[in-house]
Chain A
């Protein structure tokens, strides 16, 4: 059997015996957003290097990898995709399918259809694209399902010991189950309050906890323009919203401007961008506490 064929059948994996070897010998796992990075790290521990190649400040949905980035991604032992239309660059890059895992493949019946974009090419006929909300990991129950898919892929490719993975997955699931329960309690009855988000990121979170979240299309962490603030004021007046969720901390003047519109500001990192968010449970837990305080 040729080397290439072996690599193919092994899904490019290094055997579990690689666990505990030198860092440079460890299998490499590429992820397409920070949530998957945090999940993979929680599961795999020291058995593999988890790499989120998107630079800080770049939206991972619209990142364009360089040829050297693509080369690194192609050489990885496992490539974890989010699915649900997240990271459109994967449609324009050549990836080794045998080493690619779509972590939401089993969740398609739970996807949220957001919009239908109609356009045409040149003189061609108009056609439509269905949009999907892609930040499904903000629903902890879906995040657990994604973690299950990651664990299965790690076992299949022999990247980590099955027993270690089972222990790590049980712990991660328990943490997220507890977080889910705490969030449900903290946000109980919050469905009566209208919330505005600076970007459409929280569809799955809102569905899970019965929240009403309307969305703007602001750049993450940027100072909104006067026109954007006018739009926010109009939306707040229309909906009676009292809370504004930011996906990244904006300049202090932005907070002051929105507070002037009668909105309580909450920063809720959706764990997509490359940042120092800590663990999944810590990051989402903090945001839920802040949101609960703002709603109260």
Chain B
């Protein structure tokens, strides 16, 4: 009689025990593979953002803070740099500078004031609506739209940054004119506005006051996007022409400047210009900063590998013991088979067929799980990384 058929009949008869063995063996195979896949995808995702940003200009200080603020739109607040630095790079003709102003937020998401060049640089596409056109417009990332339940036609109000701000600068209501296609990057978690809009929020630019007051709200003449805010300014068709900026744009602030050099030579020349340790600005390579951070974080990976190995050995030993004990329990059954004329080889084939069938089923299950993780790793990692910003 076919050994595989007998093995199959035995496993089916003892289905509960077989199922437990298959699941345990599948988990032992799946967990290390899934962990490795997710960790390597995380590492790639973290480093990729840095590698996709050739150079970063900012105020001298923590390189990590600068990188986290400009690339991941974190809570860090690097000292601002003047827009004159942006113009200096334009004038050099060595690359394209893209200012990134990340000082404000709305609904728990960073407001990123920048220029249209940022969208070209990151290859960001509009999924709904249109891109930034006029002062006050906001384009939101896919995750922002999902989390806030907002879309084109809705509005956002910038969060007041300082409760004791007595300068009379009110939060700004910004119409959402577009939603970006998802990218599984921090761009999904950002609210993009023209950098000039960020300056309006900052109070550098302003128009004739058109402040929506608590009375307007009480009278039902204004829709309030944030219950905590009772007064905010709004840029409308009627007052947009009155908006203006004070002073030279060269003195206006930006949190950081993404610099896209024309080529390697231009990058080298640019880096050379910011080597002075006493200068107010620094030009860094975000890839190096992120790699350093990732290297530190992923030192834990080595520990994780050891733990996984120990657990796997323990689990394999447990399975081996279970199989051994099951053989002991089946001693009478095996003796009966021998008495019926089964040779030792036949008994061995029978037991081997059972074990191999169990392992194949476990491997199949683990393989399917690994495939699911592999296919969704980028999305899951993007989501996990976004949780930390």
Contact = CB atoms under 8 A, between A and B. Distances in A.
Interface of A: 2-5, 7-9, 62, 64, 67, 70-71, 74, 88, 91-98, 121-124, 127, 129, 156
Contact of A71 (B115, B133, B260): B133
B120 A94 contact: no
B123 A92 contact: no
B244 to A, nearest CB: 7
A91 B207 CA distance: 12
Given A70-B134, A74-B131, A64 B241 contact: yes
A2 B122 CA distance: 8
B44 to A, nearest CB: 17
B246 A4 contact: no
B117 A8 contact: yes
B8 interface: no
Contacts of A156: 93
A93 B117 contact: no
A122 B245 CA distance: 16
B260 A97 contact: no
8 contacts: A3-B123, A9-B260, A67-B134, A70-B134, A91-B245, A96-B115, A97-B115, A121-B207
A40 B376 CA distance: 52
A5 B124 CA distance: 11
B207 to A, nearest CB: 8
Contact of A95 (B116, B208, B211, B240): B116
Interface string B187-224: 00000001010000000011111010000000000000
A92 B96 contact: no
Given A8-B121, A97-B117, A123 B134 contact: no
8 pairs of A and B residues whose beta carbons are closest in the complex: A4-B120, A122-B209, A96-B116, A4-B123, A94-B132, A94-B194, A92-B135, A8-B120
Interface of B: 90, 93, 96, 98, 115-117, 119-124, 130-135, 137, 168, 194, 196, 205-209, 211, 240-241, 243-246, 260, 262
B357 to A, nearest CB: 49
Contacts of B117: 8, 96-98
Contact of B246 (A3, A94, A129): A129
A156 B260 CA distance: 16
Given A5-B260, A96-B120, A156-B93, 19 more contacts: A4-B120, A8-B96, A8-B120, A8-B121, A62-B241, A64-B240, A71-B133, A74-B133, A91-B243, A91-B244, A94-B133, A94-B134, A95-B115, A97-B115, A97-B116, A98-B96, A121-B208, A122-B168, A124-B168
B266 to A, nearest CB: 10
Nearest to A96: B116
Nearest to B200: A92
| Most A-side CB within 10 Å, residue of B115, B124, B208 | B115
B133 A67 contact: yes
B116 A93 contact: no
A70 B133 contact: yes
A9 B261 CA distance: 8
| Most B-side CB within 10 Å, residue of A91, A94, A95, A98 | A94
Contact of B260 (A8, A70, A88): A8
A66 to B, nearest CB: 9
Contacts of B116: 74, 94-97
A123 B168 contact: yes
A127 B168 CA distance: 15
Nearest to A3: B123
Contacts of B98: 97
Nearest to A73: B133
A91 B260 contact: no
A5 B168 contact: no
Contacts of B243: 91-92
Contacts of B205: 91
A129 B246 CA distance: 7
B354 to A, nearest CB: 54
Contacts of A71: 130, 133
A129 B260 contact: no
A91 B93 CA distance: 24
A88 B196 CA distance: 13
A67 B237 CA distance: 12
A98 B119 CA distance: 12
Contact of B123 (A5, A64, A96, A122): A5
Nearest to B167: A124
B193 to A, nearest CB: 9
